């Protein structure tokens, strides 16, 4: 199993998962050219994809759907409300393979478990992706970590977890109007570094091998700060077995294997 975060942040989110039988994107938030370029860094092409899983309809998660999914006839997996919102945003119709939030389904040899997350979108979801070699939890946008969310990703061997902002940096940011700050800080906004650390502590297990800090704000966070907050928490709870990595907007992360 190979897993690569192709990029994560407020201007685009996309990850690639490959098993012996299946190749998936999780979200497609970059331009088609960028998605192709980033896949090329790991010697992959979008034509070989078996599907694209969509967490929600915000543009930083769907920007490449027309030029990738529609042009190449790649199946899109999402729920009904997300499909409707995608079509409204992108002004075009898509053929989607719909699931109900909370359902599980198979794509090749990957079992996809879906669950509701608190975010300001139509019907946003998180994923637990069960592969023959291990499980990946996917949580990129959520205002707070509910008990349901924590329970569903606890079996993960690899966890992608939002660590969007430092609260003080957000509060002091002169470029963010107060209503936007309230939205980000709200229970359907985005996780702070400290909230991400709390969530990681709650789901920690001996099976978790790698933790990615995702969706970092360019203006209201710093990679070294997010890493330091999480690393301190992992050390405090004795989770020295977990490899910690901060994702970037501009370049893919190193590929993880299980």
Question: Which H/E stretch holds residue 87?
Answer: helix 80-90
Tell me whether residue 258 is in a domain.
no
Task: Over range 3-9, report the average pLDDT.
Answer: 98
Q: In this predicted structure, what is the pLDDT of residue 174?
A: 94
What is the percentage of the chain residues whose pLDDT exceeds 90?
100
Tell me whether residue 34 is in a domain.
yes
Tell me the pTM: 0.97
How many DSSP H helices and E strands does the chain contain? 10, 14
Tell me whether residue 135 is in a domain.
yes
| Residues paired with 158 in a beta bridge | 136, 210
Range of the domain at 89: 2-249
Buried (b) or exposed (e) across 8-43, using 16+ Cβ within 10 A?
bbbebbbbbbbbeebbbbbbbbbebebbbebbeeee
Would you say 170 and 197 are in contact if contact means Cβ atoms under 8 Å apart?
no
Task: Over range 123-131, report the average pLDDT.
Answer: 98
Rounded to the nearest angstrom, the gap between the alpha carbon of residue 46 and the centroid of all alpha carbons in its chain is 19
The total of structural domains in the chain comes to 1
**CATH number of domain containing 104:** 3.60.15.10
Give tens-digit pLDDT for 58-99.
Answer: 999 999 999 999 999 999 999 999 999 999 999 999 999 999
Tell me whether residue 255 is in a domain.
no
Q: In this predicted structure, what is the pLDDT of residue 102?
A: 98
Give tens-digit pLDDT for 232-246.
Answer: 999 999 999 999 999
Tell me whether residue 143 is in a domain.
yes
Tell me whether residue 164 is in a domain.
yes
- Kindly report the average pLDDT of the chain as a whole number: 97
């Amino acid at each position: 199993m190979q897993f690569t975060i192709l990029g994560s942040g407020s201007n685009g989110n996309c990850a690639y998962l490959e098993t012996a039988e299946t190749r998936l994107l999780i979200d497609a938030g970059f331009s088609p050219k960028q998605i192709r370029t980033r896949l090329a860094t790991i010697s992959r092409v979008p034509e070989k994809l078996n599907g694209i899983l969509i967490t929600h309809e915000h543009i930083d998660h769907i920007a490449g759907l027309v030029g990738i999914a529609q042009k190449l006839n790649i199946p899109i997996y999402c729920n009904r409300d997300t499909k409707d919102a995608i079509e409204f945003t992108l002004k075009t119709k898509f053929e989607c393979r719909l699931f109900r939030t909370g359902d599980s389904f198979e794509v090749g040899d990957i079992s996809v478990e879906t669950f509701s997350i608190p975010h300001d979108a139509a019907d946003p979801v998180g994923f637990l992706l069960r592969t023959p070699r291990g499980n990946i939890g996917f949580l990129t946008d959520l205002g707070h970590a509910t008990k349901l969310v924590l329970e569903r990703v606890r079996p993960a061997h690899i966890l992608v977890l939002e660590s969007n902002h430092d609260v003080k940096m957000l509060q002091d940011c002169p470029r963010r109007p107060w209503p936007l700050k309230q939205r980000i800080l709200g229970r359907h906004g985005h996780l702070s570094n400290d909230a991400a650390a709390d969530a990681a502590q709650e789901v920690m297990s001996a099976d978790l091998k790698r933790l990615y800090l995702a969706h970092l704000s360019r203006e209201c966070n710093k990679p070294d700060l997010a890493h330091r907050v999480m690393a301190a928490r992992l050390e405090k709870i004795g989770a020295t077995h977990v490899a910690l990595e901060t994702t970037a907007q501009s370049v893919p992360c190193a590929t993880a294997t299980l």
